[in-house]
Amino acid sequence: MDLRDKVAIVTGASRGIGAAIAAELAMEGCHVVLAARNEERTLALAERLHQLHGVRTLALAVDIADPGAVTAMVERAVTEFGGVDLLINNAGMGIYGSIDEVKMADLRHVFDVNFFGAIQAMQAVVPTMRRRGGGVIVNISSIVGKFASPLGGGYTATKFALEGASAAARAELKRDRIKVIIVRPGLTETEFSQNARVSVPGAEHRQGERHAPMRGISAEKVARRTVRAIQHEERTVYITWFDRLLVFGSQLLPGLFAWGLVWAAAIRRKRFEEAR
């Protein structure tokens, strides 16, 4: 797919993977609608991309958990650019807490952002893609959309749901020439863990701390691989071979992998219990 003069909406575009994807698209000559809650950062990035690459940009303050705001985002993009060719469903957030203790209000909010917000955006953008004869929807999932993440089961559940909906939509939208791409990053060096909700009773004060066990790959690497997948109209994308092997290992050796998850759960639980 030639990205020059195409129009893309990128959610969660103020930082991390979303900002990197927006920059990579602009570099390819794609006009970009940047949507995120942080209006100041989104505006600054939109202006910078316009100055650097000469593409048209539009910054919108959008809470992806608000269905009305998501619909308005797409309507504004259609009004300003005449239509939408690409939707990058990147907005997302994590949640820490065991399934038996996680607060339901926290879990529902994460589902609103990670799953329902993405589905709302898809529903809003499909009509304009149909009118333009096709398009591409990229749903940023995770490798934990394929296996469990101890004390991160709520986040895992949102990605399992997104994976299932994406696969169904891929088949349903094929006749409209709308492609659905699933991207499964592994650990990435962003502010994700700091922005995740801590739904562990007694450890809520650790909200905003870094909880990732190690440094991950750069957001720019995820962005480059994602844009290449769009250009070649791939179906499912892993960023590294390690990510791919981890997922395949969980499927080929489920017993051994389950033992590893129990071990990981004990380590993570101890860290949060010490904070209580």
CB atoms within 10 A of CB 254: 11
The label of the residue with tokens 């820490």 reads 96
Helix (H) / strand (E) containing 9: strand 7-11
- Which structure tokens are listed for 26? 């602009």
Q: Which of 111, 115, 116, 155 is catalytic?
A: 155
148 neighbors 107 (Cβ within 8 angstroms): no
The label of the residue with tokens 């700091």 reads 194
How far, in Å, are 65, 116, 136, 163, 181 from residue 168 at the CA level? Answer: 22, 15, 15, 9, 12
Enumerate residues 6+ apart whose C-beta is below 8 A from 139.
89, 118, 162, 166, 180, 181, 182, 183
183 neighbors 224 (Cβ within 8 angstroms): no
Enumerate residues 6+ apart whose C-beta is below 8 A from 135.
84, 85, 86, 87, 125, 128, 129, 177, 178, 179
Which phi and psi (to 5°) does residue 34 adopt? -100, 120
- Alpha-helix residue ranges (DSSP H) falling in the chain: 16-27, 39-53, 67-81, 104-111, 117-131, 153-173, 192-195, 219-231, 241-252, 254-274
Tell me whether residue 155 is one of the annotated catalytic residues: yes
Q: Is the dihedral of CA 20, 80, 1, 35 positive or negative?
A: positive
Catalytic residue numbers, as ranges: 155
